[in-house]
């Protein structure tokens, strides 16, 4: 059976050091930014037209506690925050956010270039995002696992890296890899995988933030694997709480004396 054509024909075959670096970057997104402003192209099959979540949208995200999404015309289509959530007895019993800590409060084991070698269990997005698949794009840990595979198990990584190249992607330094899923691969969402089974998939990870800038299926049977595209507009900007909270006074009638 002929081998697949190379996507990066000028790049050397990735060695173990290069593979470890790519996997560490995939684990690192929660610790690389305090906030993000991103532009996301929503595929038709993954959108929600009823809520205006279609086409190209812009999202401001602060940690994993607040998000505001605007459509291409600049209108607010989604807004949510968790930093003012009531911490009642029912809340503690019903969610894992009550005992899993945010990444800002937990220090992982770092590599020498300050990427994450071993990742502790942290609080997820906990329903913050308007579209669930954004969780995998903003934090692509599923392609690497929370820690390196055992050295004596050469094929125990979640994904196999066929090709790897450091590139500039839309003006930002990035690591691009051609991947296929391994037998230990577990998608963060049951009905969505960054690397669909039976495919060779191109993933481009931003070096500055660790998020997935591009997912593109190169070959294999995956009819429900649309291209995913995200652009970083800003990183570590300061956003006050009001960016993510509804302005309630606008809903009140004006009383004139």
Could you read off the pLDDT of 96-129 as tens digits, one per residue? 555 678 888 899 999 999 999 999 999 889 899 9
Q: DSSP states of 154-168 as a string?
A: TT-SSEEEEEEEEEE
254 domain residue, yes or no = no
CA-nearest of 83, 41, 85 to 62 is 83
4 domain residue, yes or no = no
Rounded mean pLDDT of the chain? Answer: 87
64 domain residue, yes or no = yes
Domain range for 151 is 21-246
| The pLDDT value given to residue 152 | 47
| Cβ neighbours, 10 Å, residue 252 | 7
Mean pLDDT for the stretch of residues 133-160? 85
71 domain residue, yes or no = yes
pLDDT in tens, 173-202: 999 999 999 999 999 888 899 999 999 999
Domains held by the chain: number:
1
Q: How far apart are CA 75 and CA 50, in angstroms?
A: 14
Q: How confident is the model at residue 4 (pLDDT cuts 50, 70, 90)?
A: low
138 domain residue, yes or no = yes
84 domain residue, yes or no = yes
pLDDT in tens, 11-54: 888 999 999 999 999 999 999 999 999 999 999 999 999 999 99
This prediction has a pTM of 0.88
9 domain residue, yes or no = no
On whether the CB atoms of residues 203 and 179 are closer than 8 A, the answer is: yes
Q: How confident is the model at residue 1 (pLDDT cuts 50, 70, 90)?
A: very low
Per DSSP, the chain holds a count of helices (H) and strands (E) of 4, 11
| The pLDDT value given to residue 151 | 59
pLDDT in tens, 52-74: 999 999 999 999 999 999 999 99
253 domain residue, yes or no = no
């Amino acid at each position: 059976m002929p081998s697949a054509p190379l996507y990066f024909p000028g790049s050397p075959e990735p060695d173990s050091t290069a593979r470890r670096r790519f996997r560490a970057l995939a684990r690192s997104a929660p610790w690389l930014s305090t906030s993000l402003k991103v532009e996301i192209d929503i595929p038709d099959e993954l959108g929600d037209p009823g809520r205006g979540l279609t086409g190209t949208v812009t999202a401001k995200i602060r940690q994993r506690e607040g998000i505001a999404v605007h459509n291409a015309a600049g209108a607010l289509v989604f807004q949510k925050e968790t930093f003012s959530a009531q911490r009642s007895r029912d809340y503690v019993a019903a969610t894992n956010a009550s005992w899993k800590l945010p990444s800002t409060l937990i220090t992982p084991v770092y590599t020498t270039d300050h990427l994450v070698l071993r990742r502790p269990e942290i609080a997820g997005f906990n329903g913050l995002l308007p579209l669930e698949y954004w969780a995998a794009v903003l934090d692509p840990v599923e392609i690497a696992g929370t820690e390196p595979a055992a050295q004596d198990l050469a094929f125990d990584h979640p994904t196999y890296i066929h090709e790897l190249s450091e590139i500039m992607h839309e003006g930002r330094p990035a690591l691009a890899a051609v991947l296929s899923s391994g037998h230990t691969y577990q998608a963060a969402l049951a009905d969505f995988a960054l690397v669909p089974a039976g495919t060779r998939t191109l993933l481009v990870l931003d070096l500055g933030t660790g998020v997935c800038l591009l997912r593109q299926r190169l070959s294999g049977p995956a009819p429900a694997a649309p291209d995913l595209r995200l652009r970083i507009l800003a990183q570590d900007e300061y956003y006050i709480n009001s960016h993510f909270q509804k302005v309630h006074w606008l809903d009140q009638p004006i009383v004139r004396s």
